[in-house]
Amino acid sequence: MQLKTILNRVQKFKSFVYGNVQWMESHGELALLIEIVARVHSSPICSGCGRRRPGYDSLPPRLFEFVPLWGIAVFFIYAMRRVNCPRCGVKVETVPWADGKHMLTKTYMHFLASWAKRLSWKETAVAFRTTWEKVFHSVEWAVQWGLAHRDLSNVRSIGVDEVLWHRGHKYLTVVYQIDSECRRLLWVGKDRTIKTLLRFFRTFGKERSAQLLFICSDMWKPYLKVIAKKASQAIHVLDRFHIVMHMNKAIDEVRAQETRELKAKGLNPVLTHSRWCLLKRPENLTSKQEVKLIDLLRYNLRAVRSYLLKEDFQFFWEYISPFWAGEFLDLWCRRVMRSRIEPMKKVARMLRSHRELLLNWFRAKKTISGGVVEGFNNRLKLTTRKSYGFRTFRAAEVALYHTLGDLPEPECIHKFC
Ligand SMILES: [Zn+2]
């Protein structure tokens, strides 16, 4: 069987045929060179308007990298024709195997991009003896295709969140779709300012924004402002995960300060090694941590009282009616305000000023789950950790869409991987 027979089976192009196959040397290694020839009497397609037009001339032959075969690099060689188009003038033709000036064939880019979902970009480059840049361009191409072809008509609930990147120095704003039937990353933007989120709503469009039913977010002010302005019809929910995070931060602060005070007074440092006892849910504690917690509870420490307040607040989420949840919230806040523990009072003040948004959780409870955003953020951290190459925003953006965007892929007759 000839190589041409296999190629015609896995990658056949209308109006083109495979010609000679020969060996060539590329960077000191053997490679296969496969000639592509236009069918006789077929006229080229104008890249400007997409119509068949009379030929003008031919450019010097060009190489296009294809999927490697048995560890051997494979190149197509083809002399691009130029067309004489009455509408666009003299233009280079479009060919079905490549896009614009890309040196990689679409199939090869698709192939690399698929592997880049399973391996890091660097690992993909090493495995297929190519470069990081080529993998990056392939993923970028796949992402652009996916973004252009995705369907956004069914988005009803979104979650907005901020995440750290660039070794924890900078913020990204991420928007997820969190409908139960479709969960994916919709958008990534630099920073976490009013402008950032406004950019999302601009790309998302007025019509789609008007169809949003639920929006879930953190208490970050710029987000609250933009959401109120751009999608006021949607029920805006503050999600549980972020509120627990704020409380844990407060407890951490109280504990650290109190530990310092105890040390200064030369007292027994009961609070050392207690961090996780106070931050974890009781059911998640190890038996050693459980003993430590029971020990801690004997002391009337501010950190311990904060912990008990946080644990008490868990009951809030069990309510069904927004009214009774509201009563509980008010009572809890009053208790905290009397506690004289400043970091916890700060949390209570924050919850009080967002009372209505908090109660929206009960109005939306059956339809959205706050855990989705948390789950996405964990996957996002994994993605950024896996790729050492994220020195630029563009690389981070492309990688996140690629792994979390659930983007559609072009249909191929043959699956190369
Ligand atoms: Zn044209």
| d(CA 56, ligand 1 centre) in Å | 12
Q: Which two tokens stand for residue 393?
A: 């925003």
| d(CA 412, ligand 1 centre) in Å | 27
pLDDT in tens, 179-233: 878 889 999 999 999 999 999 999 999 999 999 988 988 888 898 899 989 998 8
Contacts of 172 by beta carbon, 8 Å cutoff, 6+ apart? 162, 163, 164, 165, 188, 189, 190, 191, 192, 396
| d(CA 50, ligand 1 centre) in Å | 6
Query: C-alpha distances in angstroms, 62 versus 29, 35, 58, 79, 212?
Result: 19, 10, 11, 6, 49
Region of poorest pLDDT, from 61-75, 250-264, 375-389: 375-389
| d(CA 101, ligand 1 centre) in Å | 17
| d(CA 58, ligand 1 centre) in Å | 16
Per-residue pLDDT, 213: 87
Per-residue pLDDT, 100: 77
Instruction: Name the 3-class secondary structure at 41.
Output: coil
| d(CA 339, ligand 1 centre) in Å | 75
| d(CA 326, ligand 1 centre) in Å | 65
pLDDT: which is higher, 406 or 263: 406
Angle subtended by helix axes 240-264 and 302-313, to nearest 10: 170
| d(CA 168, ligand 1 centre) in Å | 49
| d(CA 93, ligand 1 centre) in Å | 9
Express as a percent the part of the chain with pLDDT over 70: 94
* Nearest Cα residue to 272 out of 258, 259, 253: 259
| d(CA 87, ligand 1 centre) in Å | 5
| d(CA 117, ligand 1 centre) in Å | 37
Contacts of 160 by beta carbon, 8 Å cutoff, 6+ apart? 173, 174, 175, 197, 200, 215, 216, 217, 218, 223, 227
Summarize the confidence of residues 332-357 as an average pLDDT.
Answer: 90
pLDDT in tens, 357-385: 888 888 876 566 667 777 787 887 777 76
pLDDT of residue 389 exceeding 60: no
CA atoms within 13 A on the CB side of 64: 23
Q: Which residue has the tokens 């709503």?
A: 201
| d(CA 85, ligand 1 centre) in Å | 5
Single-letter amino acid, residue 256 = A
Instruction: Name the 3-class secondary structure at 26.
Output: strand
| d(CA 28, ligand 1 centre) in Å | 41
Per-residue pLDDT, 21: 92
Instruction: Name the 3-class secondary structure at 218.
Output: coil
| d(CA 178, ligand 1 centre) in Å | 43
| d(CA 84, ligand 1 centre) in Å | 8
| d(CA 98, ligand 1 centre) in Å | 18
Summarize the confidence of residues 174-182 as an average pLDDT.
Answer: 87
Burial class (CB in 10 A: 0-12, 13-18, 19+), 331: exposed
Confidence band for 269, pLDDT divided at 50, 70 and 90: low
pLDDT of residue 341 exceeding 80: yes
Give the span between the Cα atoms of 56 and 314, in whole angstroms.
74
pLDDT of residue 286 exceeding 90: no
pLDDT of residue 40 exceeding 70: yes
| d(CA 40, ligand 1 centre) in Å | 21
Instruction: Name the 3-class secondary structure at 20.
Output: strand
Q: Which two tokens stand for residue 86?
A: 């009455």
Per-residue pLDDT, 413: 65
| d(CA 49, ligand 1 centre) in Å | 4
Average per-residue pLDDT in the chain?
87
| d(CA 100, ligand 1 centre) in Å | 15
Q: Which two tokens stand for residue 6?
A: 């296999």
Region of poorest pLDDT, from 26-35, 53-62, 132-141, 288-297: 288-297
CA 60 to chain centre: 41
| d(CA 13, ligand 1 centre) in Å | 21
Single-letter amino acid, residue 324 = W
| d(CA 90, ligand 1 centre) in Å | 8
* Nearest Cα residue to 108 out of 131, 88, 85: 131
* Nearest Cα residue to 214 out of 403, 25, 361: 361
Summarize the confidence of residues 399-410 as an average pLDDT.
Answer: 90
Single-letter amino acid, residue 227 = I
Q: Which residue has the tokens 């990298």?
A: 65
Confidence band for 356, pLDDT divided at 50, 70 and 90: confident
Summarize the confidence of residues 308-314 as an average pLDDT.
Answer: 90
Confidence band for 167, pLDDT divided at 50, 70 and 90: confident
| d(CA 80, ligand 1 centre) in Å | 15
Per-residue pLDDT, 38: 93
pLDDT of residue 407 exceeding 90: yes
Q: Which residue has the tokens 């996002």?
A: 380
Instruction: Name the 3-class secondary structure at 178.
Output: strand
pLDDT of residue 174 exceeding 70: yes
Per-residue pLDDT, 318: 86
Summarize the confidence of residues 290-316 as an average pLDDT.
Answer: 82
Express as a percent the part of the chain with pLDDT over 90: 43
Instruction: Name the 3-class secondary structure at 282.
Output: helix
Single-letter amino acid, residue 257 = Q
Per-residue pLDDT, 35: 95
| d(CA 91, ligand 1 centre) in Å | 7
pLDDT in tens, 78-131: 999 999 999 999 999 999 999 877 889 999 999 999 999 888 888 999 998 889
Residues with CB under 5 A from ligand 1 (ion): 46, 48-49, 85, 87-88
